[in-house]
Amino acid sequence: RALPGRHYPQHGPYLGVYLRVVRGGVLRVGDTIAVEPAPWVLALAAAAAAAGLAGVGGIAAAGAGSGLAIASRVGPTELPQTVAGFHSLVGAAAVATAVGEFLHLAPLGLLTPVSIGAIVAATYLGAITTTGSLVAFGKLNGALGSAPVSLPKRNLVNALLSAVSLWAAARMMRSPTLAVGRAALAACTAASLFVGAHATLAIGGADVPVVITCLNSASGWALCAEGFMLSSTLLTTVGALIGFSGALLTQDMCVAMNR
C-alpha cells in the first residue's frame, strides 16, 4: 500500500518494493512503495520487447519460407508423405514446449496437478506423433519397407509402455521437484517415442494414409493439452477442433477402405 501524504501517478508501470519488518520501523510486511521507473528503464524494457518480437517474427518468417519452398516442389502423389513429414515437426514442437514449460515451472515451485497432467499428455501425444509420422513418411516415401514389422504381443508392449506416461504423471504429482520431474518426463518421452514408431511399423503400407489421419488427431489433442498447460483458450479450442476432425476423418477412411 502506498505511503500516505504522497502523490503517485495513476497510470503507467510501477515497481513494488517490499520491505521487511524492522523493530521500531513504520512500515509493515506487505507494505509497498509505488515507484515510477526511470525513463531509461522504460526505454530498455521497450527495446528488449522489440528485440524479442523481431526474433520471433524472424523465426516465423524463416519457417514459413522453408515450408513454402518444400511444398512448392511436392507433386499431388507426394502429398501424403509430405503431410506426415510436417506432422513430425508438430509433434516435436509439442514435446519441446511441454519440456520447456516444465523446466520453467518446476524451479519456481509452480507445478500443479493440472499443469503436470497437461505437460505429460502433451509429451506423450507429441512424441507418438513425432516418431509415428516419421515412420509413415518413410513407408510412403519408399525409405522403409511397406510390410508390417512388430514385436511379439505388440499390443501388450504398446500398452505397457503407454502406462509409463501414467506413472510419470503420478510420480510428478507426488513429488513435483525438478530432479524427479526430469527423470519421469525423460522416461515418458522415451517410451512414447518407441510406441509411436512401433505402432506405425506394424501397419502395412496400404493403410498408412489412415495412420496419418490418426496421427493428425493426436497432434490436435497434444495442442489441446498445451492450451491447458499455457492457459490459452485459443490453443485449447484449435487443438480440440483438429483432434475431433482428425478422429472423424480416420473413422470415415476406415469405413471407406473397409478397415
* pLDDT number for residue 32: 53
Tell me if 137 sits within 8 A of 88, measured CB to CB: yes
Reference 197, options 139, 250, 253, 239; nearest CA is: 139
3-state secondary structure of 19: coil
The single residue listed with the C-alpha cell 483458450 is 233
**Number of C-beta neighbours around residue 203 at 10 A:** 20
Reference 181, options 97, 125, 98, 90; nearest CA is: 98
3-state secondary structure of 42: helix
Mean pLDDT value across the chain: 84
pLDDT digits (tens, 9 = 90+) for 104-134: 999 998 999 999 999 999 999 999 999 999 9
Torsion over CA: 118, 123, 124, 126 (sign) = positive
Higher pLDDT, 118 or 3: 118
* pLDDT number for residue 215: 92
3-state secondary structure of 111: coil
Higher pLDDT, 102 or 6: 102
Quick one: average pLDDT of 7-19?
43
